[in-house]
Amino acid sequence: MLKAVFFDFVGTLITKRGENITHQNIMREVLRKAGRSELDYLMVWGEYEEETGRRFRELAGRPYVRIRDVDTEALRKIAERHGFTVPEDFWEINISMHERHGELFPDALETLRSLKALGLHLGIITDSDNDYIKAHLKALGIYDIFDSITTCEDTGFYKPHPAPFRLALERAGVKPEEAIYVGDNPAKDCVGAKNVGMLSVLLDPNATKRELWGNCDFIVSKLGEVVELVKGLMER
């Protein structure tokens, strides 16, 4: 019987649009503090996204390195290219902008409340630093709805390594077959969950990841569909 539902965070509970706006505002504030407001912050943001994306793809499944360090080093590389200095409080800027501009999917809160009403354990499994995820969830007003939060900082590995999934299951006190994991990345979320015996659910609103659907047990186009899926699984 299903007892727990776990979620990824970025791209699953919060929108990529909101994340882009957040990062754009981070770059704007970084350039302002560096005295280089004349630089195009959108250009700097684009280079930052490319650099951090590359680095995190390389880290998939590997031992944990602090995300704040990865992000800071990526920005330093770009800063050297354009001749400015990364502010010492870059990470504080990063967190404050996420608190200010983070955006839940429209049906996220209702989905979480509906699942909670079913008596399920609600958890997060995310490639995040602990200070980031805690601050962001509190700013969104959903921190207290979760029974457990498991990060790569807690386990020492990035998804799809089994460690984050296994620790989350242990914290919830459930077996793999009693849990599902909802994420937006077929390679990291679906593969990671299935490798430890959990059912995997892919959130793919625009069906842009169709070629990788085979990695996942279920596909949904919006979070609200997870509630009906869960109800069906609970009846088995």
Interval 179-221: pLDDT, tens: 999 999 999 999 999 999 999 999 999 999 999 999 999 999 9
Bridge-partner residues for 92, per DSSP?
none
What are the Cα distances from residue 146, in Å, to 6, 112, 141, 143, 198?
9, 9, 11, 6, 19
Interval 67-78: pLDDT, tens: 999 999 999 999
Q: Are 159 and 192 in contact (CB under 8 A)?
A: yes
pLDDT band at 236 (very low <50, low <70, confident <90, very high): confident
Report how far residue 148's alpha carbon sits from residue 167's, in angstroms, rounded to the nearest whole number. 10
Report how far residue 158's alpha carbon sits from residue 192's, in angstroms, rounded to the nearest whole number. 10
